[in-house]
């Protein structure tokens, strides 16, 4: 519990950094700044500088504070893998830094190569999560939560062993693809497969178990 509080304090401080930087740079930013890019990294969405520089990182700060509190509502909170919790807790502040850096840089017409950095970051995140998935016990807020995995501990364990392998491989594929112009397409295709494969496998285990019984 103390470690979680310490992590929350540190991650919240990190989430404050983009807000502080946004306030400092605010007078120098144009009225409209980029807040969305297409798969090729071309800007296709804009917001006021107040929303882009202040509101967005403030919302992520709020999410960062609420996430640990919401996770503690899980009746099986004690089952959650501590290392995986750490990865999850640090995801929000890192996303805040990444998004705010790209948004603020766009205000000064600096190319941040968001189409490369995004799949690289997401792929690395999946590798970390996939590494800990097989060690994750049943819970309602962490892991591959399907009716069949939550119903059977054996199904949960088998699904997460395969899921961990698939997520690590998928993460590596996404990271490699980040250096090619079609990297974002690979990200979303691989993302869908990473959820589809363990889900189908879990259902097959469930059906086989029902037939045997």
Q: Of 53, 82, 112, at which residue does a domain stop?
A: 112
| Same domain assignment for residues 102 and 137 | no
Best mean pLDDT range from 2-11, 23-32, 35-44: 23-32
Q: Of 80, 112, 144, at which residue does a domain stop?
A: 112
Rounded to whole angstroms, the Cα distance separating 89 from 4 reads: 9
Query: Does the structure show a pLDDT above 60 at 134?
Result: yes
| Same domain assignment for residues 123 and 74 | no
Q: Give the domain extent around 146.
A: 114-213
Q: Tokens for 23?
A: 């306030």
| Same domain assignment for residues 77 and 159 | no
In angstroms, the Cα distances linking 195 to 122, 129, 192 are: 15, 13, 5
| Same domain assignment for residues 51 and 88 | yes
| Same domain assignment for residues 77 and 161 | no
pLDDT in tens, 73-101: 888 888 888 888 888 899 999 999 999 99
| Same domain assignment for residues 87 and 182 | no
Q: Where are the beta strands (DSSP E) in the chain?
A: 32-37, 43-48
| Same domain assignment for residues 94 and 193 | no
| Same domain assignment for residues 25 and 94 | yes
Q: Are 31 and 49 a contacting pair, CB within 8 Å?
A: yes
Report angle CA 192, 90, 164 to the nearest 5 degrees: 40
Rounded to whole angstroms, the Cα distance separating 134 from 91 reads: 20
| Same domain assignment for residues 195 and 206 | yes
Number of independent structural domains in the chain: 2
Q: Determine the pLDDT at residue 43.
A: 84
| Same domain assignment for residues 106 and 7 | yes
| Same domain assignment for residues 105 and 140 | no
| Same domain assignment for residues 21 and 106 | yes
Q: What is the pTM of this model?
A: 0.85
């Amino acid at each position: 519990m103390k470690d979680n509080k310490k992590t929350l304090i540190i991650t919240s401080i990190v989430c404050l950094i983009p807000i502080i930087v946004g306030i400092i740079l605010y007078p120098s930013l144009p009225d409209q700044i980029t807040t969305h890019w297409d798969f090729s990294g071309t800007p296709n969405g804009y917001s006021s500088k107040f929303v882009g520089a202040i509101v967005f990182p403030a919302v992520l700060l709020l999410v960062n504070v609420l996430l640990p509190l919401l996770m503690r509502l899980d009746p099986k909170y004690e089952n959650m893998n501590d290392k995986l919790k750490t990865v999850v807790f640090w995801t929000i502040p890192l996303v805040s830094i990444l998004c705010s850096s790209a948004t603020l840089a766009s205000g000064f017409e600096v190319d941040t190569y968001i189409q490369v950095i995004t799949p690289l970051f997401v792929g690395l995140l999946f590798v970390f999560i996939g590494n800990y998935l097989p060690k994750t016990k049943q819970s309602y807020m962490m892991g591959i939560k399907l009716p069949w995995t939550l119903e059977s501990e054996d199904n949960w364990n088998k699904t997460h062993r395969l899921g961990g392998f698939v997520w690590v491989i998928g993460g590596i594929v996404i990271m490699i693809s980040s250096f090619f112009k079609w990297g974002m397409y690979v990200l979303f295709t691989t993302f869908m497969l990473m959820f589809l494969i363990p889900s189908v496998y879990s259902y097959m285990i469930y059906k086989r178990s029902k037939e045997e019984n």
